[in-house]
Amino acid sequence: MLPILVLLASCAPGARPAVPAPDRGVVVHLFEWRWADVAEECETFLGPVGYSAVQVSPPTENQVVGGRPWWERYQPVSYRLETRSGDREAFADMVRRCGAAGVDVLVDAVINHMTDADLQHPEVEMTGIGTAGTRFEPYAYPGLWEYDDFHHCGLTENDDIADWDDPVQLRTCELVDLADLDTGSPHVQGRIGAYLRDLASLGVGGIRIDAARHMDPADIRAILDSAAWTGYVVSEVRGPETSEYTGLGDVTDFTYGWLVSEAVRDGRLDRLHGSDAVWAQDHVPGDSALVFIDNHDNQRGHGAGGSVLMYRDGSAYDLAVAFMLAYGRGRPRVMSSFAFDSSAQGPPTGEDGGLLAVHGPGGAGCGTAWVCEHRRPVIAGMVGFHDAVAGTPVLRWHVDAPDRVSFSRGEESFVALNASEEEAEFSATTGMQPGEYCNVAAGPVPADGSCPGSTVTVGPGGQVRITVPAMGVAAVHAGSIRE
């Protein structure tokens, strides 16, 4: 009889796997966290578990909007580093501490536009005041921008984008009434470049260019050149123009999360590999993609929203993220959300309007207001799996049923995914050495060598037989062997 899964056994794992190049390791988006909390999370969790980078919310001064919706962070007023997440000193301290923990900081760079153009909104108050106290008026940002620094496209009734298939409108008209910077202007390019140089001087390792689809790729290149930028770049693009931006760095792959979510919901994991795989529908080459199941936009129903799994979907969501971390297409980004009931709802705050702390005395902690999906055992454990198998091909893809698949990455790993509503037994031949291994899908293997929840026994000839719970995952790699 083949070896079976042994539950709750103790193991002493082997040597830690080599971590992939920083610009291909796992990113986590700590959405709207305070800088002090990000720093502590880097030191106590992200670095030890194996996350290579943390994406943070826009650090630049933003407009204070009535009701404090999350999207006020995407209405920059200046390039001063002062928001509800903290001031410049706290930001610099975070970057330093995360770097020391082996975690790069990726800044969400909002450089396509500034605030609402006319400071009029039917539902909320546009105050005309920034988080650092800057007062401004439409198309007039003191000491920074004047009217002629913006596009005024004149192609639609109100200068807003009306035809989303027209590249001229996409790149020169206003995105939902946001004052659109003339990024073709050398003056504007130089000012934005100075902001990026400032980030680099503080040790920031990468940027996500927000709304990159609404900027000419040549303009982005000129800005990066002005900044002498050498860090990681990912452009937020969704649509047929994607290929125009791959020369700048990675691009966001919105299709990926929809395809994986659909496969999990429909019980069709078998569609995720092979000659007929769903990736044929994808616009982004795997080696240029930043992939994710959900992000702060589409989990709220924006963009590709309404079709992606998110934190409320429980084990189905965890399984989708586990597949992303196991399969190896693109650079993966894990979402870490705050709980919300309405699409505009802002982050958890105290009576004074300040962000609730995650860590420290009085901190809100993880699991309620701050959801912290990145800490869920299966997700955190699969980060280590991703790092251990980086650069190896998918081998031995096996379909037990459309909703139950297993595969290896290279010769020294194995993963089984069960998207059915019942536990399922998997039997497979692997290339692994016989022995007992920690099931890393039960959680990261701690420093004391105890397995986080279960072990998997590999028998002679690399044979494995395991029982995987409904909507569950099991995964092992050479570095998780019991010694």
**Exposed, middle or buried by CB within 10 Å (0-12, 13-18, 19+), for 98?**
buried
- Pairing relationship of beta strands 53-56 and 104-109 according to DSSP bridges: parallel
Task: Pick the more confident residue, 102 or 24.
Answer: 102
Q: Which two tokens stand for residue 255?
A: 């299709």
Backbone region of residue 300 per phi and psi (left: phi > 0; alpha: psi in -120 to 50; beta: other values): alpha
Position 70 scores a pLDDT of 97
d(CA 114, CA 471) in angstroms, rounded, equals 43
Domains 6-12+392-480 and 22-389 alike in fold? no
What is the mean pLDDT of the segment spanning 102-110?
A: 98
pLDDT tens digits for range 108-124: 999 999 999 999 999 99
What is the mean pLDDT of the segment spanning 186-203?
A: 98
Nearest in space to 204 (alpha carbons), one of 329, 60, 45: 60
Q: Which two tokens stand for residue 155?
A: 């192609």
Position 368 scores a pLDDT of 93
d(CA 95, CA 93) in angstroms, rounded, equals 6
DSSP codes joined into one string, 378-402: HHHHHHHHHHHHTTPPEEEEEEEET
6-12+392-480 fold: Immunoglobulin-like (2.60.40)
d(CA 16, CA 444) in angstroms, rounded, equals 12
What letter would DSSP give residue 45? I
Position 482 scores a pLDDT of 85
What is the mean pLDDT of the segment spanning 209-226?
A: 98
d(CA 196, CA 56) in angstroms, rounded, equals 15
d(CA 87, CA 66) in angstroms, rounded, equals 21
Q: Which two tokens stand for residue 193?
A: 């470049």
Which region among 13-27, 149-163, 217-231, 267-281 has the lowest average model confidence (pLDDT)? 13-27
So which residues are the catalytic ones? 210, 236
Chain position carrying tokens 């079709």: 307
DSSP codes joined into one string, 159-176: SB---TT-HHHHHHSBST
pLDDT tens digits for range 31-83: 999 999 999 999 999 999 999 999 999 999 999 999 999 999 999 999 999 99
Domain residue ranges of the chain, discontinuous segments joined by +? 6-12+392-480, 22-389
Stated length of the chain: 483
Which region among 3-17, 102-116, 264-278, 371-385 has the lowest average model confidence (pLDDT)? 3-17
Residue 20 above 80 pLDDT? no
3 state SS of 414: strand
What is the mean pLDDT of the segment spanning 400-425?
A: 97
Residue 306 pLDDT class (50, 70, 90 cuts): low
H helical segments located in 202-253: 217-227
Instruction: Identify the bridge partners of residue 408 per DSSP, sorted by sequence position.
Output: 395
**Other C-beta atoms lying within 10 Å of the C-beta of residue 450:** 15
Residue 261 above 90 pLDDT? yes
d(CA 175, CA 182) in angstroms, rounded, equals 13
Residue 222's Cα: distance from chain center in Å? Answer: 26
- Pairing relationship of beta strands 113-116 and 178-180 according to DSSP bridges: antiparallel
Position 1 scores a pLDDT of 30
Contact between residue 171 and residue 215 where contact means Cβ atoms under 8 Å apart: yes
Nearest in space to 474 (alpha carbons), one of 443, 446, 435, 436: 443
Chain position carrying tokens 């001087």: 201
Residue 10 above 80 pLDDT? no
Q: For the chain, what is the mean pLDDT?
A: 93
Residue 5 pLDDT class (50, 70, 90 cuts): very low
Residue 286 pLDDT class (50, 70, 90 cuts): confident
Residue 259's Cα: distance from chain center in Å? Answer: 17
pLDDT tens digits for range 129-179: 999 999 999 999 999 999 999 999 999 999 999 999 999 999 999 999 999
| CATH classification code of 22-389 | 3.20.20.80
What are phi and psi for residue 92, nearest 5 degrees? Answer: -60, -40
Which region among 132-146, 171-185, 350-364, 399-413 has the lowest average model confidence (pLDDT)? 350-364
d(CA 115, CA 75) in angstroms, rounded, equals 4
Position 301 scores a pLDDT of 85
Distances (CA, A) of 304 to 141, 211, 256, 269: 33, 15, 10, 20
pLDDT tens digits for range 244-254: 999 999 999 99
